Structures are given as structure tokens and as C-alpha cells.
Amino acid sequence: MVRLRVVTTNDWPLWRDVRRTALAEAPHAFKSRLADWHRGGEERWRARLEIPGAYHVVALLDGRAVGMAGGMPGDGDGRPPELRSVWVSPEARGHGVGGRLIGAVETWALRAGATALRLAVIPDNAPAIALYERHGFAATREPGDLLSDGVTRELVMVKALRRS
């Protein structure tokens, strides 16, 4: 059975290990590279988890981390909070783990008063885009950040949030 665990600052080793595993297993799916996260130590990982208003969650299956997702607060200028760092391990894919992680971040955003949730995805990552579309996200015309090739931009997607 999959259990979701909200990650706190003291859980930085768990977040570090899951993030490194995600970057190693699916380098094509992230703008960050594994090598980028080997620099810095505990302080760098804690800093990521200490961002005011941020939310981080890990999916555990029989005590093993099999997924992760993060929520970053909006920028205060009307930009909604952002879903980030979504990853599910190959053995857990197809079992609803991604949906549960997305749902947890949506709940966090709603509790913070958000009316929308935003994300940016690598445009070649068809499985991720399909997952986000199944969960109500739609592509926008907003230009995403440039990728390392200097030509391709991230695909920005948004979902309107409604209280149930």
C-alpha cells in the first residue's frame, strides 16, 4: 500500500535521496541535472525544504520511497502556486501514485487559498503531459523557461482549482 508522507526540514536526507534517484532514473524529465545537486550539503537540501509556504511530499511503498512532488507558493503578483519535482519510480507507475501526489499538492494549494495550480513540463515528456491532462491541467500560451539547448521552452500548464 502506498502512503504519502509530508517532508519537513528534518527529512532532508529522504528528500535528497528521492530527488537524486529521480534525476538519475529520468534525466530527460527534469530541467535540473543530477550533477547540479551533488554540490552543497545539508544546508542546500534544508534550504529547499525551508522555502516559506512550500510543500513537499514523498510516496512510500512498503517503506521505500517510490515518488515525490513539491508545491511552491505563488509569487504574490497573481502567479498561482506551482507543482514541481513530480516523479514516480518505474515499479510504481500505473498504480495511481502520480495522481495521489498531484492530489496532495492540489489540496495544499487549495488550503493556501489558491484558485489555480501551475506547472512547467519538458515538452517531449509525453507520459507526464498525459498524466497532467488526465488530472485536469491544460496547456497555456505562456512561454516556459528555455531549456539547456537554448531553443526549446518548457510547456506551461494550468489547472483551475475548485473546493469540493
pLDDT band at 27 (very low <50, low <70, confident <90, very high): confident
Digit-coded pLDDT (tens) for 45-86: 899 899 999 999 999 999 999 999 999 999 877 789 999 999
Amino acid, single-letter form, for residue 126: A
| Cell numbers found for residue 94 | 500505473
pLDDT band of residue 30 (cuts 50, 70, 90) is confident
Give 104-150 pLDDT, tens digit per residue. 999 999 999 999 999 999 999 999 999 999 999 999 999 888 887 87
- pTM (2 decimals)? 0.92
Instruction: Report d(CA 74, CA 78) in Å as an integer.
Output: 7
Give the C-alpha separation, 15 to 160, whole Å: 28
How confident is the model at residue 147, as a pLDDT? Answer: 81
What residue type is 112 in one-letter code? A
